[in-house]
Amino acid sequence: MNKYRILYILPGLLCISGLAAYAAEMPPQKTGSADTTAVSASDASLQQTAEPDPDGNITAEARRSISQYQQTIDALQRTHGVYHDQLSEQLLGLGLVYRNQGQHEQAIEVLKRSLHINRINNGLHNTSQLPILELIIETNTALSDWQALDKNYHYLYWVHLRNYGNEDPRLLPIIDRLGRWHINAYQLQSDELLFRHLLDANALYKNAVAIIETHYGQFDPRLIDPLYAIALINYQMAAYASNLENSDDIRSSFTGNRHRRRLSEQEIVQQNLLANSYRTGKRAMTRIIDIYESNPQLPSDSHALALIHLGDWHQLFNKRTTAMMNYQQAYAFLSEHQTDTLDIDKLFARPRTLPAIQLPLPYKNKQDNKNKPSVLVSFNVTKTGRARNIQIIESDPADDASLQRRAKKSVKLTRFRPRLENGKPVETTDVSIRYIYDE
């Protein structure tokens, strides 16, 4: 097992907008009989985060609020018992105070009790529990409790399913959130069932596609984001099947070796998964282009990006000739639909690491990367998208030769979208990437 695991690569890559934007277009959601979105009018200010003391202790104002909540909770329990419905509301308010003060361990215990009492009084499927569940999910994230986060995301999805059925467009935002969680869990290596996260994410986004097609048609622009997600997931499946550590075997699997040796049963399973992932991703990318062609009112630069991403897909799987054709199609498309040559050149001004499609994943704290081992690598990118003349510029720790070798290997195995000038791929010198590792 390697000592280090790549956290992420700089510079940042393209993000797509996600399904969450659909929420504004969906029918209003049903609500439960109890309103748990606010504790009370007098406690509304607790929704805002108060400034803690410099030493990290709870502020005096928050201490007073905690004391008031605890007194109210004690009084309710003495008078009405430990499962009175008003206790859930008061516990939610107390959990908010703890959360806002960064006391996540205390917050999670209080919020779990609030959720339990809500379900006892209102049933397992009621929607009034959703604000509590959302706060629990937020707190699980703050605590990096990935196992609990996985469980609560699935429970959130289950509540929506029980209330709306499995074909309701109101499911789209929660499908997107759960799908992104599974992609994030895979990247975080949050548990031993990594491939299960990819399978679950793939199934979720396929369901999103089916819902959108049923309600809005096969060429609705809302299909674009889940199709991009399906492509990204299938690339990760292919990379996983190619030996987890790197994706070089993906590309070698498509070189058409005439003297392929007899494959073992495991290798056949891997090859089938690679081939299926390639076809699925290609179909998703092609459908995105078809959607743009059927909706000429959509931005032309987004249409061109779809052509570029299809080229990226072929580049990743070692189909360089087809990839260059897609890149040149995108360049020609932009030349035809835009008059500003500077904007066209900007899209191809520098090489891009592939895959360049990335879903925004909010669970990684950027501050966590302080004092992490890192390596800054410089290299040239050929016109075919390969790294050459790889040099280590700096390394922390400076004397970790193993880490430096791993960074150089990562660059060597990475595929790039080459820089284009006047629609033609050209070599680029002095490209740099910083790899940040987890110990």
Res 376 pLDDT > 70: yes
Give the contacts of 87 (CB within 8 A, at least 6 positions apart): 73, 76, 77, 80, 114, 117
Judge whether 101 and 48 are in contact, CB under 8 Å: no
Which tens digit of pLDDT belongs to each residue from 73-89?
A: 999 999 999 999 999 99
410 vs 405: CA distance, rounded Å: 9
Q: What is the mean pLDDT of the chain?
A: 81
Summarised one tens digit per residue, pLDDT across range 186-228 is: 888 766 678 899 999 999 999 999 999 999 999 999 999 999 9
Look at 87 and 371; give whichever has higher pLDDT.
87
For residue 204, give every residue at least 6 positions away whose Cβ sits within 8 Å of its Cβ, in sequence order, or none.
175, 178, 179, 182
Question: Bigger pLDDT: 342 or 100?
Answer: 100
| Averaged pLDDT, 52-67 | 76
Parallel, antiparallel, or unpaired: how do β-strands 357-358 and 424-426 relate?
unpaired
**In the block, residue with structure tokens 């309600």:** 215
Q: Alpha-carbon distance 340 to 367, whole Å?
A: 39
Question: 9 vs 130, which has greater pLDDT?
Answer: 130
Q: What is the pLDDT of residue 361?
A: 56
CB 390 within 8 A of CB 379: yes
- How confident is residue 356, by pLDDT bands cut at 50, 70 and 90? confident
Rounded CA-CA distance 355/381 in Å is 16
8 Å CB contact between 427 and 382? yes
The string of pLDDT tens digits covering residues 259-284 is 445 556 667 777 888 889 999 999 99
More confident residue, 123 or 1: 123
Domain residue spans of the chain: 31-165, 360-438
Residue 75 CA to residue 90 CA, distance in Å, equals 11
* pLDDT per position as a tens digit, 284-306: 999 999 999 999 999 888 898 89
pLDDT at 326 (0 to 100): 93
Pairing of strands 357-358, 14-15: parallel
The class (CATH top level) of 31-165 is: mainly alpha
CATH of domain 360-438: 3.30.2420.10
Answer yes or no: is pLDDT of 252 > 70: no
The reported pLDDT for the residue numbered 6 is 43
